[in-house]
Amino acid sequence: MEAQKKTLGEFIIENQYEFKNSSGELSRIFNSMKLAAKVVSYKVKKAGLIDIIGGVGDKNIQGEDQQKLDVYANEVFIETLINREIVCGIVSEENDDFITVQGNDKANNNKYVLLMDPLDGSSNIDVNVSVGTIFSVYARISKRGTPVTLEDFLQPGTRQVAAGYIIYGTSTMLVYTTGHGVNGFTLNPAIGTFYLSHPKIKFPVDGSIYSVNEGNYVHFSQGVKNYIKYCQMQEGNRPYTSRYIGSLVSDIHRNMLKGGVYLYPTSTKTTNGKLRLLYECNPMAFIIEQAGGKASNGHSRILEIKPTSLHERVPFYAGSVNMVEKVEEFIAMANKETMC
Ligand code: AHM
Ligand code: MG
């Protein structure tokens, strides 16, 4: 890493001007996420060495086994945010209800709420495959100085003030947007500093990678099945390459750098898809759009969906614009045929 490269801390300060009347609150949130990311990254990299692998025997609200690292990451992010009193409320995939940040009056005076999946793709931890953290920030709707309400969290994704992900891969990276493009920072673990390594990331308009759990093929709708067959057909730049890690952050990150489409459709098994709107799809969709890509539920923009509950799921088709539009075409075509 070249010494002259900009650090994440410097970048955050330099870009505060993007927000009118900036109070520095958002910058402080980023600094906290950066700190917690380093702590979690350290632990993830040591996962094979210490007794932290495996379930804790609990299930989260979706009935899934919690891994020890899920629980650890959840605690680290929540404690970092609470100790620094920089948000007024938190939603996490691992907690049934939202957390009101209490303690003193000052805390409830904070402007922002944060929603997160502290360790996404955690079924991959035991096998040494990349996992990630996803987060989303909104300005509260309720009055400052009062406790947060459910409505503060149930805002459409278009209202996000910032969103980001951390990928714990061969290197640890933090990628984020505040609505002014997308920038990626790589952690130099030797000195614990994130450096700007991927400035102004652009999602290729087209690509040749499709990412979907094809084991669920028989359960998919006819439109999705037809699209998958289209990806595999020999014509033009097809067949496309199939790449699926099963770790949303990693699959999207790869496709954003190389060009591709990610699909988690509805199926007869999962009628609303699997991914959660508030802390998986919305933040990823904000980043994807800011990089020039597209994110859809099959017919409409993810960011315009009005959420109705904290842990709701939506089908998710995201990536290179031309590829997502093609999926939508196939879905619409099959729906029309069914109606005829
Ligand atoms: P998680 O939040 O329980 O880790 O689940 C979300 C993950 C995504 O990262 C990934 O894209 C998807 O689930 C994989 O699901 P599947 O194993 O059904 O293909
Ligand atoms: Mg998740």
CATH of the domain at 304: 3.40.190.80
CB–CB of 144/108 below 8 Å? yes
Coil, helix or strand at residue 36 = helix
Domain assignment present for residue 1? The answer is no
In this structure, are 34 and 151 located in the same domain? Answer: yes
Q: Which of the listed residues 155, 175, 198 is the one where a domain comes to its end?
A: 198
CB burial of residue 243 (10 Å; 0-12, 13-18, 19+)? middle
Q: Order the strands of the 182-188 sheet from edge to edge.
A: 99-100, 89-92, 112-120, 131-139, 162-168, 172-177, 182-188, 193-198
Helical H segments across the chain, by residue range: 8-14, 25-45, 68-84, 105-108, 150-153, 222-232, 248-258, 282-290, 321-339
Residue 210 φ then ψ, to 5°: -120, 140
Question: What is the number of the ligand 1 atom nearest to the C-alpha of 120?
Answer: 4
Question: What is the number of the ligand 1 atom nearest to the C-alpha of 64?
Answer: 3
Cβ of 246 less than 6 Å from ligand 1: yes
Please state, in angstroms and rounded to a whole number, the distance separating the CA atoms of residues 146 and 113: 13
Record the tokens describing residue 63, joined without a space.
């009935």
pLDDT for 85? 85
CB–CB of 199/223 below 8 Å? no
Q: For residue 255, how far is its CA from the centre of ligand 1 (angstroms)? A: 16
Which residues constitute the domain of residue 19?
8-198
**What are the CA-CA distances from residue 250 to residues 255, 304, 326 (Å)?**
9, 24, 23
Q: For residue 22, how far is its CA from the centre of ligand 2 (angstroms)? A: 31
In this structure, are 185 and 216 located in the same domain? Answer: no
Record the tokens describing residue 25, joined without a space.
């609150």
pLDDT for 339? 76
Please state, in angstroms and rounded to a whole number, the distance separating the CA atoms of residues 281 and 247: 13
CB–CB of 316/327 below 8 Å? no
Q: For residue 247, how far is its CA from the centre of ligand 2 (angstroms)? A: 8
In this structure, are 87 and 15 located in the same domain? Answer: yes
> Whole-model pTM above 0.75?
yes
Q: pLDDT per residue over 272-323, tens digit each?
A: 999 999 999 999 999 999 999 999 999 999 999 999 999 999 999 999 999 9
| Size of the chain in residues | 340
Which residue's CA lies nearest to atom 16 of ligand 1?
A: 246
Question: What is the number of the ligand 1 atom nearest to the C-alpha of 270?
Answer: 18
Domain assignment present for residue 3? The answer is no
In this structure, are 175 and 239 located in the same domain? Answer: no
Which residue's CA lies nearest to atom 12 of ligand 1?
A: 246
In this structure, are 130 and 237 located in the same domain? Answer: no
| Percent of the chain's residues with pLDDT above 70 | 90
Q: Which of the listed residues 179, 198, 217 is the one where a domain comes to its end?
A: 198
CB–CB of 153/278 below 8 Å? yes
- Summary count for the chain: helices (H), strands (E): 9, 15
Mutate to test the pocket of ligand 1, among 270, 274, 311 (most ligand atoms within 8 A of CB): 274
Ligand nearest to C-alpha 283: 2
In this structure, are 260 and 130 located in the same domain? Answer: no
Alpha-carbon torsion 263, 303, 204, 184, what sign? negative
Domain assignment present for residue 233? The answer is yes
Which residue's CA lies nearest to atom 4 of ligand 1?
A: 121
Ligand nearest to C-alpha 130: 1
Cβ of 216 less than 6 Å from ligand 1: no
In this structure, are 28 and 148 located in the same domain? Answer: yes
In this structure, are 136 and 114 located in the same domain? Answer: yes
Domain assignment present for residue 204? The answer is no
Identity at 335, one-letter amino acid code: N
Q: For residue 196, how far is its CA from the centre of ligand 2 (angstroms)? A: 26
In this structure, are 172 and 216 located in the same domain? Answer: no
Coil, helix or strand at residue 295 = strand
| Nearest alpha-carbon partner for 327 in 246, 229, 247 | 229
Domain assignment present for residue 227? The answer is yes
Coil, helix or strand at residue 26 = helix
Domain count, the chain: 2
User: What CATH code is carried by the domain that includes residue 174?
Assistant: 3.30.540.10
Q: Order the strands of the 241-242 sheet from edge to edge.
A: 241-242, 209-211, 261-264, 316-319, 294-296
Q: Which of the listed residues 168, 198, 228 is the one where a domain comes to its end?
A: 198
Alpha-carbon torsion 7, 9, 15, 17, what sign? negative
Q: For residue 125, how far is its CA from the centre of ligand 2 (angstroms)? A: 13
In this structure, are 156 and 118 located in the same domain? Answer: yes
pLDDT for 124? 86
Domain assignment present for residue 27? The answer is yes
- Give me the tens of pLDDT residue by residue for the chain, a chain 340 residues long: 555 689 999 999 888 877 666 678 899 999 999 999 999 999 888 876 655 555 566 666 666 665 688 899 999 999 999 998 899 999 999 999 999 997 555 557 899 999 999 999 988 887 889 999 999 999 999 998 888 999 999 999 999 999 999 999 999 999 999 999 999 999 999 999 999 999 999 999 999 999 999 999 999 999 999 999 999 999 999 999 999 999 999 999 999 999 999 999 999 999 999 999 999 999 999 999 999 999 999 999 999 999 999 999 999 999 999 999 999 999 999 998 887 7
Domain assignment present for residue 268? The answer is yes
In this structure, are 151 and 86 located in the same domain? Answer: yes
Cβ of 213 less than 6 Å from ligand 1: yes
- The reply to whether omega before 283 is within 30° of 0 (cis) is no
Question: What is the number of the ligand 1 atom nearest to the C-alpha of 122?
Answer: 4
Mutate to test the pocket of ligand 1, among 64, 247, 254, 279 (most ligand atoms within 8 A of CB): 247
In this structure, are 234 and 185 located in the same domain? Answer: no
Which residue's CA lies nearest to atom 14 of ligand 1?
A: 246
Domain assignment present for residue 215? The answer is yes
Cβ of 120 less than 6 Å from ligand 1: yes
Alpha-carbon torsion 296, 300, 303, 306, what sign? negative
Cβ of 121 less than 6 Å from ligand 1: yes
